[in-house]
A and B are shown apart, each in its own frame.
Chain A
Amino acid sequence: MSRQQGILKVIHAVADIPNDPAPDESLFDSGTLDSFTLPDLVTGLEKEFDVKIPDADLVPERFDTVTKIEAYLDGRKN
């Protein structure tokens, strides 16, 4: 499973959406994510990709699109 597919799997687990969001679609503007579901997304990403996301990085800006989440996880892995 590619990284993007893994991210989409986590998003579908926390948000009630019928289709995959576009890579650059704002997940917060579209209502896919909000302040209530962000903790679930973060926990899901940590489990799915076996990474620890520091508290200082827990801001919506980093998780606003699939592309941004992917770039962030790439940075964490490196």
Chain B
Amino acid sequence: MSPLSPAYFAFAAIVITLCWACYRWKYARLYILLIANGFFLARLAWFYPVLLLTAATIDFLVGFELQRLPRERSTPRLALVSISVILNVGLLAATKFTPIAVGELYRWVFPLSLSFYCFQSMTYTIDVYRGTRPGTRSYLTHLTSASLFTVIVAGPINRISDLIKQLQQPFDLTPTQGGRAFLLISSGLIKKLLIADFLSNNVANRIFDTPTLYSGAEVLIGVYAYALQIYFDFSGYTDIAMGISQLLGLTLPDNFNRPYRSLNLADFWRRWHITFSNWLRDYLYFSLPNAARWKGAGYVYPIIVFFLGGLWHGIGWPFVLWGLLHGVGLTTLRTFQTLRQKIQGKPTPTPWGRYFSIFVTFNFVCLTWIFFRSPDVATALAILGRFGSMTLSVENISLPMVGVMLAGVALHAIPPKWFDRTVEIFGRAPFVVQGAGLASVVLLIELLSGRGSTSFVYSNF
């Protein structure tokens, strides 16, 4: 059941209606959500509910014991959290190595990678171990949080403790939150079906599949198109997940903040896949030896962290190189900033300096997308080779392609304040106006979207 299919939306509508009907009874709502999670997982593969609920049970028991043991008993506490980490990393490795072991058959073995589930599950036991967030003694709430169907496919990566806290509170949905949810779902569908799929089918896929058929300029446009495609694909998915979760009474963290306006690579990782980069920082970087004491850590650990972050997306050289480019890019940035500060102090950036920084950062990120998108290193090198050809023909780039790309750039530039203001106005509008607005979005998508939708890029990770 793809998160874009009519079946998924019908399923979500039934679950939301049942949760609303039972809003007074907390436990009824939790049971409905847990059964819905189990049903969603079973539709992917019969053994998923058994596997994930068993893993979540082990994490719950680990968390339960960690709450019982005083912090002074560091050895048994460390042993307990290690069980959870080994379990989740083992599950993650199993889903990552299965494609290598059994080839294309893996789609029948593991139709859904467990990357997002494993990262999210580890937040619970590590937070309880560190004492930074409270645990729970409610088995039902923990299972429901860990297996939440709205985020299990591709995030956002929540902290389980935050979900538990929200699920234990009385159900609440204000008109503004309802309006926000519907706007998020609408914006997610527009981003995915009208922009990401168009750019994927008409520009990026063609150029990445056969780069040698295109000029250097066309390949460059193809890479820019992919940068827009992956942003609108993933942020579209995130909007839909946030919107459906909001209707279930859960507020999820956002994953994006206009990432292509970043001033440097560190800024980019504060704006792109935010929950993933926060996870890497909080649970991986600061778990490395002496990370918060050793000054050299800032120059070495980003390379290790992003190497592993690359592998999280898939086992293969393109993802490794993508991760290494980001890791080395971050350490180079640190070195440059440190040296500049020693020589110039803290200079105030000029407007042109800011534009130049955004331009350089965006193009570096696009360079890394070439490795991320290419099926192998040879294809990535072929694409880079096309830039060297210095051929400038753009005869394969049509006006609609340019139009959709410009629309994408404009949509990406919309300040978050504008969205918040629209939410306020939409939330206060009469129900009939809200319904008409949503119907217009569906009609617009029906009229303008092309061939059938493609799967979300990040659902493969």
Contact = CB atoms under 8 A, between A and B. Distances in A.
A60 B159 CA distance: 14
Contact of B292 (A16, A28, A31, A38): A38
B313 interface: no
A55 interface: yes
Nearest to A30: B270
Given A29-B270, A31-B267, A36-B298, A60 B286 contact: yes
B258 interface: no
Given A34-B266, A60-B286, A39 B130 contact: no
Contact of B130 (A29, A35, A56): A56
B339 to A, nearest CB: 14
B293 A39 contact: yes
B281 A60 contact: yes
A28 B295 CA distance: 18
Contacts of A35: 281, 285-286, 291, 297-298, 301-302
Contacts of A61: 127, 130, 132-133, 282
Q: Which of A55, A56, A59 is the most central at the interface, judged by chain B CB atoms within 10 Å of its CB?
A: A59
Interface residues of B, number: 25
B189 to A, nearest CB: 28
Contacts of A42: 292-293
A62 B297 contact: no
A68 to B, nearest CB: 10
A58 interface: yes
A59 B266 CA distance: 19
A28 to B, nearest CB: 8
B267 A55 contact: no
Interface in A50-65: 55-56, 58-62
Contacts of A31: 266-267, 270
Contacts of B297: 35, 39
B291 A58 contact: yes
Contacts of B270: 29, 31
B261 interface: no
Contacts of B278: 28
A34 B127 CA distance: 19
Nearest to B305: A35
The interface size bin for chain A is 10 to 19
Nearest to B333: A36
B326 to A, nearest CB: 14
Interface string B282-294: 1001100011111
Contacts, number: 52
Q: Which of A34, A55, A58, A62 is the most central at the interface, judged by chain B CB atoms within 10 Å of its CB?
A: A34
B285 A58 contact: no
Contacts of A59: 130, 132, 282, 286, 292
B111 to A, nearest CB: 34
Given A59-B132, A62-B132, A39 B282 contact: no
A36 B292 contact: no
Contacts of B127: 61
Contacts of B298: 35-36, 39
B73 to A, nearest CB: 13
B206 interface: no
A10 to B, nearest CB: 15
A54 B281 CA distance: 19
A70 B297 CA distance: 26
Given A34-B266, A56-B130, A39 B281 contact: no
Contact of B295 (A39, A55, A62): A39
Contacts of A58: 286, 291-293
B104 to A, nearest CB: 39
Contacts of A39: 292-295, 297-298
A55 B132 contact: no
A36 B127 CA distance: 22
B346 interface: yes
Nearest to B257: A29
A39 B293 CA distance: 5
B412 interface: no
A36 B286 CA distance: 11
Nearest to B282: A60
Interface in A1-47: 16, 28-29, 31, 34-36, 38-39, 42
Interface of A: 16, 28-29, 31, 34-36, 38-39, 42, 55-56, 58-62
23 contacts: A16-B346, A28-B278, A28-B281, A29-B270, A31-B266, A31-B267, A34-B266, A34-B281, A35-B281, A35-B285, A35-B298, A35-B301, A36-B298, A39-B294, A55-B290, A55-B293, A56-B74, A56-B130, A58-B292, A59-B132, A59-B286, A59-B292, A61-B130
5 nearest A-B residue pairs (beta carbon): A58-B292, A36-B298, A61-B132, A16-B346, A35-B285
Given A35-B298, A39-B295, A58-B293, 13 more contacts: A31-B266, A31-B267, A35-B281, A35-B285, A35-B297, A35-B301, A39-B292, A39-B294, A55-B293, A58-B292, A59-B292, A61-B130, A62-B132
